[in-house]
């Protein structure tokens, strides 16, 4: 995260204020009673203090300090310094009227070596953060794993590629339940497992940077044809193991619930052809379906099983029983919408030989050279508010009306050559949130979608 701290937080205050009071007919009272409004972050992107109070290094510390891995050569050694300044951040949240704050716990701050002795200073920090939130009337929503695998576990046995990770992750998660579960009632076991699986083990653009496709010159090791599926399988079994532990040992006394936050683009068919319509469904199967269907039904989508074949791991009967029905709620991180079209070029698929090629779908934000919507600052983020409503209805229709939290939504905007006075107006971002919230509200009130909350993320 590269924004200047003060400006960014003030902008977020203004965005929330404008959304709630000025821009449109909707406001907080428009949403059902008990609907949660919050903001969200992650430990690596916000905390800083990477070498303080016993914290061990994570794969993202290593990755961000490796030459050529981050375009602007930035790192998160300081980030926005929330480790030291969480009290003033909480005051800003209180001033905004936030109901909740979603944050993650740094695994290597609790277990510097991934396993072994607990670092009490790390436990003390999160206890102070949680207690301060509750004192301010803000409910903590805690993500147990937000990509920052302890480097020690990556060095010891390649982290998520080894089934040993299931046991070590379960130990870490149970420690969180023991230390914080008396006050934390909403747990998110994983943030965007699809993202860190693809970006970390297929295309190699994020930590730990493994790949074997065209970008292999960026990666020291990896197998894009198999590793994403192995990582995803271990993630799913880790969630199931932890959900079982929580249900058996903690849920009755603590009264909490567990979910996963999935990254989900909405896809529209590029044309009305049967090929593109079918490709659109496959794109969604290889994104959301890959992770949600095992946790709801105990198996991968049929399209994945048929197209990936023996490279896709299988669940034993006991494993399927373990993971099936292990979600109390679904977290959705939604930002944008793309077109999807059939990929019939077998030579390209053979060349790539990875999970993206396996889907047989090409997803792009353009059709006939025309963008699907106005672009934010990031090259991948196009503004398509109606995608939010379409996605909520898709989940309701395909997966039942399971409770949903929008655990991330937001956009970035370039402000490099703009005065602070103009930056603080932030009109484009205000309109983005207003329009996405309007579509979200319609999905709730007009379509009956079971959405329980909305968390803003400030990007850029």
CATH number at residue 323: 3.20.20.80
Q: In what order do the strands lie in the sheet with 337-342?
A: 266-269, 337-342, 361-364
In this structure, is residue 99 part of a structural domain? yes
Q: Is 96 helix (H, G, I), strand (E, B) or coil?
A: helix
In this structure, is residue 13 part of a structural domain? no
Q: Is 340 left (phi over 0), alpha (psi -120 to 50) or beta?
A: beta
**Average pLDDT of the residues of the chain:** 92
| Average pLDDT estimate for 29-45 | 97
In this structure, is residue 22 part of a structural domain? no
What is the number of domains present in the chain?
Answer: 1
In this structure, is residue 3 part of a structural domain? no
In this structure, is residue 10 part of a structural domain? no
| Average pLDDT estimate for 154-183 | 98
More confident residue, 350 or 380: 380
> Under 8 Å CB-to-CB from 327, ≥6 apart: which residues?
243, 258, 259, 260, 292, 295, 296, 402
Q: Note the pLDDT of residue 420.
A: 84
| Average pLDDT estimate for 124-141 | 98
d(CA 24, CA 18): 9
Q: Note the pLDDT of residue 3.
A: 38
| Average pLDDT estimate for 177-205 | 97
> Under 8 Å CB-to-CB from 320, ≥6 apart: which residues?
294, 298, 299
Nearest to 8 by CA among 399, 456, 397, 379: 456
Q: Which of 7-11, 68-72, 338-342 is predicted with the least confidence, judged by mean pLDDT? A: 7-11
Tokens of 212: 């074997």
pLDDT beyond 70 at 22: no
Condensed to tens digits (0 to 9), the pLDDT of residues 4-21 reads 344 344 445 445 545 554
Q: Note the pLDDT of residue 21.
A: 47
pLDDT beyond 70 at 395: yes
d(CA 118, CA 171): 11
Band (460; pLDDT cuts 50, 70, 90): low
121 phi, psi to nearest 5 deg = -60, -35
- Of 2-11, 155-164, 413-422, the range with the highest mean pLDDT is 155-164
Q: Where are the beta strands (DSSP E) in 192-312?
A: 257-263, 266-269
More confident residue, 145 or 10: 145
Q: Note the pLDDT of residue 2.
A: 36
Band (308; pLDDT cuts 50, 70, 90): very high
Q: Note the pLDDT of residue 358.
A: 95
Band (169; pLDDT cuts 50, 70, 90): very high
- Residues 282 and 361: beta-carbon distance below 8 Å: yes
Q: Is 37 helix (H, G, I), strand (E, B) or coil?
A: strand
Place of tokens 């428009």: 30
| Average pLDDT estimate for 97-109 | 98
Q: Tally DSSP H helices, then E strands, for the chain.
A: 20, 15
Q: Note the pLDDT of residue 458.
A: 77
d(CA 39, CA 46): 13
d(CA 414, CA 423): 9
| Average pLDDT estimate for 321-332 | 98
| Average pLDDT estimate for 166-190 | 98
In this structure, is residue 52 part of a structural domain? yes
| Average pLDDT estimate for 427-452 | 97
d(CA 454, CA 460): 19
Could you list the active site residues?
192, 408
Range(s) of the domain holding residue 323:
31-457
| Average pLDDT estimate for 391-398 | 98
Q: Which of 151-160, 265-274, 294-303, 352-361 is predicted with the least confidence, judged by mean pLDDT? A: 352-361
Q: Is 209 helix (H, G, I), strand (E, B) or coil?
A: coil
pTM: 0.94
- Residues 413 and 378: beta-carbon distance below 8 Å: no
> Under 8 Å CB-to-CB from 253, ≥6 apart: which residues?
none
In this structure, is residue 20 part of a structural domain? no
In this structure, is residue 2 part of a structural domain? no
| Average pLDDT estimate for 178-206 | 97
**Using the 8-state DSSP alphabet, how is residue 150 labeled?**
B
End-to-end CA distance of the chain: 7
């Amino acid at each position: 995260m590269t924004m200047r701290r003060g400006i960014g937080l003030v902008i977020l205050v203004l965005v929330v204020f404008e959304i709630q009071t000025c821009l449109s007919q909707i406001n907080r009272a428009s949403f059902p009673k008990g609907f949660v409004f919050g903001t969200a972050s992650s430990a690596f992107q916000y905390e800083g203090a990477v070498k303080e109070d016993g914290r061990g290094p994570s794969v993202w510390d290593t990755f961000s300090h490796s030459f050529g891995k981050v375009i602007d050569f930035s790192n998160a050694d300081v980030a926005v310094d929330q480790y030291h300044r969480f009290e003033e951040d909480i005051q800003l949240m209180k001033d905004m009227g936030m109901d909740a704050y979603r944050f993650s716990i740094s695994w290597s701050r609790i277990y510097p070596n991934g396993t072994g002795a607990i670092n009490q200073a790390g436990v003390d920090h999160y206890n102070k953060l949680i207690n301060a939130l509750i004192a301010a009337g803000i409910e903590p929503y805690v993500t147990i794993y937000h990509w920052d695998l302890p480097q020690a576990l990556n060095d010891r046995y390649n982290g998520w590629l080894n089934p040993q990770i299931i046991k070590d992750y379960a130990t870490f998660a149970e420690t969180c339940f023991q230390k914080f579960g008396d006050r934390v009632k909403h747990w998110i076991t994983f943030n965007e497992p699809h993202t860190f699986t693809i970006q970390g083990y297929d295309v190699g653009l994020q930590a730990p940077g493994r790949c074997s496709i065209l970008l292999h010159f960026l990666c020291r090791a990896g197998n894009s044809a198999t590793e994403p599926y192995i990582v995803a399988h271990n993630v799913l079994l880790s969630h199931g193991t932890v959900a079982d532990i929580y249900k058996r040992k903690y849920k009755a006394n603590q009264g909490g619930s567990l979910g996963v936050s999935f990254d989900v683009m909405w896809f529209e068919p590029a044309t009305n052809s049967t090929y593109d319509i079918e490709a659109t469904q496959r794109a969604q199967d290889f994104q959301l379906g890959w992770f949600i269907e095992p946790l709801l039904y105990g198996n991968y989508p049929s399209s994945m099983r048929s197209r990936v074949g023996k490279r896709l791991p299988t669940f034993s009967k006991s494993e399927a029983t373990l993971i099936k029905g292990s979600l109390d709620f679904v977290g959705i991180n939604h930002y944008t919408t793309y077109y999807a079209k059939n990929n019939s070029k077998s030579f390209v698929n053979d060349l790539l030989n990875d999970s993206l090629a396996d889907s047989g779908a090409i997803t792009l934000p353009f059709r006939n050279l025309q963008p699907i919507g106005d672009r934010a600052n990031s090259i991948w983020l196009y503004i398509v508010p109606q995608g939010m409503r379409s996605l909520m209805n898709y989940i309701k229709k395909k997966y039942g009306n399971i409770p949903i939290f929008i655990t991330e939504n937001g956009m970035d905007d370039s402000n490099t050559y703009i005065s602070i006075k103009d930056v603080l107006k932030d009109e484009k971002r205000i309109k983005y949130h207003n329009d996405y919230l309007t579509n979200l509200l319609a999905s709730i009130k007009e379509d009956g979608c079971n959405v329980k909350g909305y968390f803003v993320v400030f990007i850029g």
